[in-house]
Structure 1
Amino acid sequence: MEIAKKGTTIQSLQIGIGIVDLIAKEGRPLKFTEICELTKITKSNLYKYLNTLTQTGILYRDKETGSYVLGSKLIEYGMAATAEENVIDRITPYMQEINAKCLSTVLYSIWTNSGPMIVKEVNLKQGYNIGAQVGTLLPVLSANGKVFASFLEDKVVDEWIEKELVHLSEEQMQNFKKECQTIKQREIAFAREPLVSNVSSVAFPVFNYKKQLLGTVTVVGFSDMIPNGEEDELSQYLIRLSKEISATFGYKS
């Protein structure tokens, strides 16, 4: 294979990467017309790029809305680059145990520059589709998002929180900050129907030996099956299990 000379580039590859970068930076699903308007690429050429990126798994096209988001292949690349796969291998048996006990979908997410992203889903004991899948970005007011907002301290995280909560009043913002302080103390978060009616979530952090947040495990299901406070028996079970999971990465509570 011939090595490319320094300074030479493949324009079509640059354009394709530019499309992926655009969708990543927007942090939301984009329709064909939006991508076309933002990139100024002709419709015929853009269709070819999007079709190629979708077929390779780099992008995902929602069949119902036609919108494009980052695909599962990028998750694979990211996990390979950060050795995240090892984390997922360790926690998957725990996720399966939680799924069997709670009869609800169990998600594992990690932090990205666009917000918390699902990288693993276990849904063996529950037929209800919550609409979340690998590659989905989760909002700050979900139980998952609250965990990241509580335990991550970074300029990018602060900007994400500010952007997500721009519509809240000053009082609501103060209440959110108080809730985050409580989550820091109790290491469990709750959200009642943050996105979909009758669907709620509970989440807990996964720490390493330095108490750095590796990711978040979230249980999502019908509201009557999801606890709304730490005194609930299911909440106590999740708190115990969260400590056990983090202990496998060297964390001592």
Structure 2
Amino acid sequence: MIEIKKNGSTIQSLQIGIGIIDVIVNNGKPMKFAEIQEKTKMTKSNLYKYMNTLTQLDLLIRESSTGLYHLGPKLIQYGTTAIGKQDVVEQITPYLQTISQQTKCSVLFAVGTTNGPVIAKIWSPDQILNIGAQIGTLLPPNSSSGKIFNVFYNNHITENWRVAAEPSMTDEDKEFHKIKEEKIAFAKEPLITSISSVSLPILSYSEELVGIIAVVGFTPDIPSAIGDETSQYLLKMQQTISKTFGYTNP
């Protein structure tokens, strides 16, 4: 139940709205409407009005496929401004788990460095799969994550990385522009025979690269084109995750 401090100089409806956000924050993971109602003890009609308002203000977002409510991009912007940083890996981990469960493949999260994309987190399904990489591994330019880094990371840094690694793709290539437009990259067996990958950029409200999510598995299980059903699912997840960092698709 939300605690209301009655005071002639305060607004109770604002306390309730912040209280709803606190319920989701304290839960530690996204929640469904029924779960929020159980915690707040509010009527469905009253809670709906608050949830609708908070969603319209981008203080919360609702994932249409699951009905789960997440903290919204406005809160991310406020928090980033207030503390100057985020624990991105911790925030991204639940999504890695969801994608892994859906695709039955290993899922990586890589962050950009001056030397290229480096794996910061790995989430694997029950089966053990040698993906040819571990936490701390620097991913090469010909990997799908390397391609995403090449396209979306800071141009000056990327240029140095291109020269050092001598990758084949430049901003004059059709693949470069295709990846920039579609926001998905594919790579067939870049590290190990029979193991392929598909990667997506996670973008912030300022359209900077927060990190890269890569799905890795046996080649027949990994999509190789944007029209594939799995590719479409991943693109929806890319939009959902990027939105939590304030990104709005132009």
Query: How does the TM-score come out when normalised to structure 2?
Result: 0.63
What SS does the corresponding residue of 1:89 show, helix, strand or coil? helix
Q: RMSD of aligned C-alpha atoms?
A: 2.0
Q: Does 1:157 align with 2:153?
A: no
Could you report, residue by residue, the CA deviation over 1:158-181 in whole angstroms, capped at 9, with x for unpaired residues? 121122226x5xxxx569832111
| Greater relative CO, 1 or 2 (CA 8 Å, sep 6+) | 2
* Secondary structure in 2 matching 1:126: coil
2:182 counterpart of 1:181: no
Task: Give the aligned residue type for 1:105.
Answer: S
Q: Is 1:217 equivalent to 2:222 in the alignment?
A: no
**Aligned-pair CA distance for 1:117:** 0.4
CA distance in 2, matches of 1:223, 1:106: 14
- SS of equivalent residue, structure 1 residue 97: helix
2:112–2:153 Cα contact (<8 Å) kept: no
Q: How many residues align?
A: 167
Confirm whether residue 196 of structure 1 aligns to residue 197 of structure 2.
no
SS at match of 1:227: coil
Q: Aligned partners of 2:209 and 2:157: how far apart in 1?
A: 15
1:146 aligns with 2:147: yes
Q: Which residue of 2 aligns with 1:208?
A: 204
Q: 1:155 to 1:112 in 2, by over 3 A?
A: same
Please say if 1:87 is aligned against 2:88.
Answer: yes
Structure 2 residue 128 is matched with structure 1 residue 127: yes
Superposition misfits of 4+ residues, deviation over 6 angstroms:
none
Tell me what 2:240 maps to: 244
Structure 1 runs not aligned, ≥5 long: 1-81
Segments of 5+ residues of structure 2 without an aligned counterpart are: 1-83
The two structures have a TM-score, normalised by structure 1, of 0.62
1:98: which partner in 2? 99
**Deviation for aligned residue 1:88:** 1.4
Q: Which residue type is aligned with residue 151 of structure 2?
A: S
Q: 1:233 aligns with which of 224, 229, 234?
A: 229
Q: Provide the rounded CA distance (Å) in 2 between the counterparts of 1:176 and 1:140.
A: 16
Name the CA distance, whole Å, in 2 between partners of 1:105 and 1:115. 21
- Between stretches 88-97 and 149-158, larger displacement belongs to 149-158
Asked if the contact 1:100–1:125 (Cα under 8 Å) also holds between the matched residues in 2, the reply is: no
The CA distance in 2 between the partners of 1:245 and 1:142, in whole Å, is 22
Partner secondary structure for residue 221 of structure 1: strand
